[in-house]
Amino acid sequence: MPAMRKGDVICEECGAGFRRIELGSRRGMPAEFRCPLCNHLLEKHDGSTEVAYRLTVAPEKIFE
């Protein structure tokens, strides 16, 4: 696995967008990532790598 992989994740429920960074060189903890805006489950992790998320696109309904 590459040392670092970047990608994007979109919440199917509210449309929020997140930048996803996965570090293959570090172990993480088994966990799940839920959208902090609507609590929709986006991904589950087994802890084999470290994964971090950053909100990059807020859903339109926040601005209404």
Q: Domain locations in the chain?
A: 4-62
Average per-residue pLDDT for the chain: 90
Mean pLDDT, rounded, for 6-18: 95
Neighbouring residues of 14: CB distance < 8 A, sequence distance ≥ 6? 35, 37, 38, 40, 59, 61
What are the residue ranges of helices labelled H in 1-64?
none
Q: What is the reported pLDDT for 59?
A: 80
The CA-CA-CA angle for residues 43, 45, 49, to 5°, reads: 130
d(CA 3, CA 37): 30
Task: Give the number of other Cβ atoms within 10 Å of residue 18's Cβ.
Answer: 20
Token pair belonging to 8? 């994007």
pLDDT tens string 18-35 = 999 999 888 999 999 999
Quickly state the pLDDT bin for 3 (edges 50, 70, 90): confident
pTM, full prediction: 0.80
Q: What is the pLDDT of residue 41?
A: 97
